[in-house]
Amino acid sequence: MANRFILNETSYHGKGAINEIPNEIKQRGYKHVLVASDPDLVKFGTTQKVTTLLDQAGIGYTLFTDIQPNPTIENVQSGVEAYKKAEADAIVAIGGGSSMDTSKAIAIIITNPQHADVRSLEGAVTDTKPCAPILAVPTTAGTAAEVTINYVITDKENKRKFVCVDPHDIPVVAFVDPDMMSTMPAGLTAATGMDALTHAIEGYITKAAWELSDMFHLKAIQLIAKNLRGAVNNEPDGREAMALAQYIAGMGFSNVGLGVDHGMAHTLSAYYGMPHGKACATLLPTVMDYNKEYTGEKYRDIADAFGVDGAYTRPLEDVRNDAVAAVKKLGEDVGIDMSLKGIVPEEDLDALARDAMKDACTPGNPRECTYEDVRSMFESLIK
């Protein structure tokens, strides 16, 4: 069986990458763009770093900010109307996963109006045409939505998040500029960084992993293990390394999938509005421990990336435990509370486990999950 690998058409990396946005828009012939960005980024001047460049280049744009941290069906439908009203021919998506995911859904519906209900985009969609062009500018070092074919939308009515997978939704150009991430507060830097680590680790051990994806994921793990603490302290080198690390992780997991950590994290966000990165981070050591005996020698590589002594010479069981411990310590060092105590009531455990089992990410887990296993993992974190 052939392994498919999909990446951006073009990407720019490093300080000043956003300066290339006007050139790309003009070269591609776009006349008016919808700038999709969340209200806080507009409030704190981050979005203006890009719109100022558009103004200086004489490029017309309409600002769209009806985007929530866990974007909803209603946000998407509002964006579709805004795109049409503006007579836009492309989207410049500025932000974290929320802005990117909203933009992907908008862009798909613009060229595929049969999915205007949004819910029909769930799962691996095969009937779409290429979406309206997206130029993606990440402001967090975590989701890698600027290079993935995935996005997640919240169905508030049914209290659930659903995953959409479509090779036609990938942005045509990504501008990964660490200066766009420099104003992220420490807590958000930590949570999104641990999300990137979860992408890298789950992608490294998922059932569909292979040599090409392994190359990306292992490098991402190494970079995150070395640089996340520095990024949380707002050190420039740490910021730049994390911007690259999260993108590299996205190059991998977008093509091979994830696992039950993401399946469980999506339910936590849907039920309690928990930020996605924090949910992934809180679950990661527990899920790693659950999976450890089904991962061959790969935890040796993870342990080595974290600087564990004797990763390739000591007994495998010991090294696996050390890899889990190293990931947990990183989370604790950057301020992640590795507990769901006081957040998840015991009476919700059945529903959480049920919904996590239905999530599109869960089947990729290296260990076959049961409802009882997932419920037990949730339960262990509330005690």
3-35: b (≥16 Cβ within 10 Å) or e: eeeeebeebbeeeebbebbbebbeeeebeebbb
Q: Rounded to an integer, what is the distance from CA 279 to the centroid of its chain?
A: 12
Q: Which pLDDT does position 214 carry in this prediction?
A: 98
End-to-end CA distance of the chain: 45
What pTM, to 2 d.p., does this model score? 0.93
- What is the residue-level pLDDT of the chain in tens, covering all 383 positions? 799 999 999 999 999 999 999 999 999 999 999 999 999 999 999 999 999 999 999 999 999 999 998 899 999 999 999 999 999 999 999 999 899 999 999 999 999 999 999 999 998 888 899 999 999 999 999 889 999 999 999 998 988 889 899 999 999 999 999 999 988 899 999 999 999 999 999 999 999 999 999 999 999 999 999 999 999 999 999 999 999 999 999 999 999 999 999 999 999 999 999 999 999 999 999 999 999 999 999 999 999 999 999 999 999 999 999 999 999 999 999 999 999 999 999 999 999 999 999 999 999 999 999 999 999 999 999 98
What is the fold, at CATH topology level, of the domain defined by 187-380?
Dehydroquinate synthase-like, alpha domain (1.20.1090)
Q: What gap in Å lies between CA 164 and CA 153, rounded to an integer?
A: 8
Q: Which pLDDT does position 223 carry in this prediction?
A: 98
Q: What gap in Å lies between CA 254 and CA 246, rounded to an integer?
A: 12
- Sorted by where each begins, the domain ranges of the chain are 10-181, 187-380
C-beta neighbour count of 2 within 10 angstroms: 4
DSSP, collapsed to helix, strand or coil, labels residue 122 as coil
Residue 222: closest CA among 302, 333, 323 = 302
Q: Which pLDDT does position 160 carry in this prediction?
A: 87
Domain 10-181 architecture:
3-Layer(aba) Sandwich (3.40)
Which residues, in sequence order, are CB contacts of 281 under 8 Å at separation 6+?
190, 191, 194, 195, 197, 198, 331, 336, 338
